[in-house]
Amino acid sequence: MRAGLLPRRRGRGAGVWDSLVILPGEEPVLALADALSPQRLQEDPLERRRRLLDQANTLCTDRRDILAGVLRDRLDATRLRVDRLLIVVDQAEELFSPPWRLTDGDSIQQFHADTETFIGLLLEAATPGQPASVVLTIRSDFFDPLMHSPFAPVLKDALVQLGRIADLRPSIEAPAALVGLRFASGLVDRIVGDVGPEESNLPLLSHALERTRERRSGPLLSADAYDTAGGVAHAINQAARDCYDSLDPAERDAARR
């Protein structure tokens, strides 16, 4: 989505598009307010939180077209001519999975109400004649709740299933090359082998590459750096261990609990 869709929407021949990427998190409407509100220079975090809460409360009204109005004002205020806004809800599965820390019924009910408001605002802003289009990225194991959500009526002919990348090597080598880094001979083949055929290993690959980059010496990404990071199989475990080892005894006790 970030590497393909967004750059193409900004390209010529499709009008002038702006984009807004939202991670719903625990408070989807607040996340929407955050995406709509650029950080002010030297803004106090508490003041920003209050400002975002005020904007989120404004969005939580019976007028479902309020977001569409905000977006039209946003497009009109841009210095450059912008024809349309693409709203991307990344990791949209968060909308259908209450955060683990919400344990009481009232909090969970509030989360679902917030989610329903969020979805309603997006759907209204993307109706014909309104200024936005909406794209969701979502894990396939959340298709069922997606199809039973208010999004369902507009999903016909709108689903794009992304298959596994046939060759991972360009995805590993090209980003490193862009910033002047290179892999030791044979290391990329080894990393591809460690990833194997499992889709669930792709996030582990991402983390292992980042940890390897942190441990590099100069522009070379070496096998030693990869091994020290823990490789695809153990990089997250190693990161957790490093974090745990940095804690004092009382903090370690709290972490275990």
Residue 11 predicted with pLDDT over 70: no
As a whole number, the mean pLDDT across the chain is: 87
The answer, yes or no, to whether residue 62 has pLDDT greater than 80, is: no
Which residues, in sequence order, are CB contacts of 211 under 8 Å at separation 6+?
229, 230, 235, 238, 239
45 compared with 146, residue with greater pLDDT: 146
DSSP for residue 17:
E
How many C-beta atoms lie closer than 10 Å to residue 132's C-beta? 21
HEC per residue, 79-144: CCCCCEEEEEECCHHHHHCCCCCCCCHHHHHHHHHHHHHHHHHHHHHCCCCCCEEEEECCCHHHHH
Selection from 40-44, 118-122, 161-165 with the highest mean pLDDT: 118-122
Whether 229 has a pLDDT exceeding 90, the answer reads yes
Residues 96-128: pLDDT tens digits?
988 888 888 888 898 999 999 999 999 988 888
User: pLDDT tier at 38 (50, 70, 90 boundaries)?
Assistant: confident
Contact between 67 and 75 (Cβ < 8 Å):
no
Global pTM reads 0.72
pLDDT of 161: 83
pLDDT given at position 14: 59
Q: 210 or 73: which carries more pLDDT confidence? A: 210
Of the candidate ranges 19-28, 74-83, 197-206, the one whose mean pLDDT is the lowest: 74-83
Q: Give CA–CA dist 114/143, Å, rounded.
A: 20
Over the Cα atoms of the chain, what is R_g?
Answer: 22
Q: Is the pLDDT of residue 213 over 90?
A: yes
